[in-house]
Amino acid sequence: MIDIKLIRENRELVKENIKKKFQDEKLGLVDEVYELDKKYRECKTKADNLKALKNKLSASIGELMREKKEEDANEAKRKVAQINKEIPELEEEEEKLEVKIHEIMMVIPNIIASDVPIGEDDTKNVEEQTFGEAKVYSYEVPYHAEIMESFNGLDKEAAGRVTGNGFYYLMGDIARLHSAVLAYARDFMIDKGFTYCIPPYMIRSEAVDGVMSFSEKENMMYKIEGEDLYLIGTSEHSMIAKFKDQILKESDLPITMTSYSPCFRKEVGAHGIEERGIYRIHQFEKQEMIVICKKEDSDMWYDKMWNYSVELFRSLNIPVRKLVCCSGDLADLKYRSCDIEAWSPRQQKYFEVCSCSNLTDAQARRLQIRYKKEDGSKEFAHTLNNTVIAPPRMLIALLENNYQEDGSVVIPEALRPYMGGKEKIEKK
C-alpha cells in the first residue's frame, strides 16, 4: 500500500505507474480516493474545530453563571448540545470515508523501480546474467518423474487415489534427497547470519490481507472451513506477519530470518497442475528468507538475497540465470523482483526455482511495521523476501544436472553429509 500523501501531491505519477503495470481499469480509483480523502480531511477538520469550540463554550458556562449572565450561559449550553449532536455524525462519516479510502488504497499498486522493464506479462521478462555452463548432454536425460520412478522414489498414482491431482508421495533415496536439500539450505542461510525459524502454517485473514494482494489471495490461498484461518502459500507470509503492529528499534534492524515450512497453493489461473510431474503442485516444502530493514538498506539487501540463491545453486552443480521481472509480471506490492531460473538439460531451457522481491514499505504499511529512529520519529520498515529452495523444483534441476548416462545421479559434494556420505543414487 502506497502513502496517500503521494496521491495528494502527485496523482499523475501514481496513474503513470498504473499504466506501466497495464492495469488501466484502476486509473479511476486514483481520482476517486483523492476526492474521498479530501472529504475525509474536511470532515475531520470540522469535527476537530467543533470539539475545540465545545471545550471553549463548556469552560465559559461556569464563568457566565458566576457573572449572573444566565441568558448567555443558556445560549452556550444550547450550542454545546447542538455540537454534541453534530460531532457523532461527523465521526461516523469520518469512519465510513476512512474504510472506503483504505479499501481503495489496498488495490492501488506499489510504485515500481525506475529501471524495471516495461512489459505486459512474463514473456517480457529480461535475462540479465547467467551463472555456470548450461550443458547439453550427448545422452538423453529422461523426464524428471521418470528419473524419480526409476529409483522407486515417486508415486503420483497412489497420491491421486488418496488426495487427488497435484499431490505426490516421495520415497526412499528421493525422499531423503528432498530432506537433504532442505537441511543444506537451512544451514547455508544460517551460515549467512540468518536466524532459523519454523513459523505457524496457518494465519488469520487480517495477516493474509497484510502480506499479499487480493488477487494473489484469491488464486493462492486455501481457507480453513469455519475458521478465520488460511493455510500459508509460503512461510514469508507468517514470518513477515510476526511483526504486525510492532514498533521495532532501529538498532535491531536489519532482521534477517530463514524458515522452513510446508506450503499450500490452489494455483488458480496458473499454467495447469501437471498430471505426471511435480513442477506445479498444490503442496510442497520450502526454505525461505526474509529481511526487514531500513529504507536506505533495502536495495543492498535485495542484491545480497538473489546472489545467495545463485551461490547455493552453483554449489550443487546447477547452472542458473537471473531474469528481471517486467512491470506487468510484478504483483501489486512489489517494487522490483527477479527470478532465479535453473537450467534443464532435458528441455534445454531455464525454469523458475527462486523469486526475490523488494516490496519497499508497501507490505509494512498494511501490517503497520515501523521502527523508531534515534531522533524519536517513526518510519515504516522495508520488507524483502526470496526463495532459498523449494525442493520439488530444486529436485528437478538437481536430478537433471547430475544425471549420468547409466541412469544414476551423482550427489553433489555439498549434500553428501546430509545423505550419510552417499555419493550417488542408482536405479532399483
CATH classification at residue 170: 3.30.930.10
Residues 360 and 385 in one domain: yes
- Asked whether residue 73 carries a pLDDT value surpassing 80, the answer given is yes
Domain annotation covers residue 112: no
Domain annotation covers residue 409: yes
Residues 26-42: what's their mean pLDDT?
96
Q: For 279, which DSSP code?
A: S
> CA of 305: how far to CAs of 18, 293, 317, 417, in Å?
27, 13, 19, 25
* R_g over Cα of the chain: 28
Domain annotation covers residue 117: no
Residues 23-39: what's their mean pLDDT?
96
Q: Which three cell numbers stand for residue 263?
A: 506450503
User: What pLDDT sits at residue 268?
Assistant: 57
Average pLDDT, the chain: 92
How would DSSP label each residue in 397-423? HHHHHTB-TTS-EEPPGGGGGGGTT--
The model's pLDDT over 364-415, given as tens digits with 9 standing for 90+, comes to 999 999 999 989 999 999 999 999 999 888 999 999 999 999 999 999 999 9
Instruction: List, in sequence order, every beta strand (DSSP E) within 9-155.
Output: 126-131, 154-155
Q: How far apart are CA 362 and CA 4, in angstroms?
A: 11
Instruction: Report yes or no: 323 and 128 within 8 Å, Cβ to Cβ.
Output: yes
- Asked whether residue 188 carries a pLDDT value surpassing 50, the answer given is yes
Choice between 370 and 57, residue whose per-residue pLDDT is larger: 370
Residues 100 and 187 in one domain: no
C-alpha closest to that of 177 among 344, 415, 393, 428: 415
User: What pLDDT sits at residue 26?
Assistant: 96
3-state SS assignment for residue 59: helix
Q: How far apart are CA 84 and CA 78, in angstroms?
A: 10
Q: Which three cell numbers stand for residue 42?
A: 474536511
Residues 72 and 137 in one domain: no
> CA of 243: how far to CAs of 88, 240, 370, 385, in Å?
34, 6, 9, 14
**What is the extent of the structural domain holding 101?**
4-105
Kindly provide the b/e burial profile for residues 187-225, where b requires at least 16 CB atoms within 10 angstroms of the residue's own CB: ebbeebebeebebbbbbeeebbebbbbeeebebbbbeee
User: What pLDDT sits at residue 278?
Assistant: 81
Q: Which three cell numbers stand for residue 289?
A: 528468507
Q: How far apart are CA 237 and CA 209, in angstroms?
A: 10
Residues 18 and 50 in one domain: yes
Strands 320-324 and 336-344: antiparallel
- The count of domains in the chain is 2
> CA of 115: how far to CAs of 17, 335, 336, in Å?
12, 10, 9
Domain annotation covers residue 239: yes
| 254 HSE (CA, 13 A, CB side) | 23
Residue 382, H or E segment:
strand 382-389
The model's pLDDT over 87-134, given as tens digits with 9 standing for 90+, comes to 999 999 999 999 999 999 999 999 999 999 999 999 999 999 999 999
User: What pLDDT sits at residue 383?
Assistant: 98
Q: Which three cell numbers stand for residue 338?
A: 527477479
- Asked whether residue 271 carries a pLDDT value surpassing 60, the answer given is no
Residues 297 and 386 in one domain: yes
**Beta-bridge mates of residue 285:** 262
| pTM (2 d.p.) | 0.89
* Confidence label for 273 from pLDDT (cuts 50, 70 and 90): very low
| Among candidate residues 47, 80, 105, the one where a domain is terminated | 105
User: What pLDDT sits at residue 274?
Assistant: 52
Q: How far apart are CA 177 and CA 183, in angstroms?
A: 10
Contacts of 414 (CB under 8 A, 6+ apart): 184, 315, 316
Contacts of 26 (CB under 8 A, 6+ apart): 18, 107, 108, 109
Residue 264, H or E segment:
strand 255-264
- Asked whether residue 63 carries a pLDDT value surpassing 90, the answer given is no
User: What pLDDT sits at residue 389?
Assistant: 93
Contacts of 109 (CB under 8 A, 6+ apart): 17, 18, 21, 23, 26, 330, 332, 333
Q: Which three cell numbers stand for residue 424?
A: 550417488
- Asked whether residue 185 carries a pLDDT value surpassing 60, the answer given is yes
Residues 367 and 232 in one domain: yes
- Asked whether residue 192 carries a pLDDT value surpassing 80, the answer given is yes
Domain annotation covers residue 67: yes
CATH number of the domain bearing residue 87 = 1.10.287.40
Domain annotation covers residue 114: no
- Asked whether residue 138 carries a pLDDT value surpassing 70, the answer given is yes
Residues 275 and 389 in one domain: yes
Other Cβ atoms within 10 Å of 80 Cβ, number: 17
Residue whose cell numbers read 541412469: 407
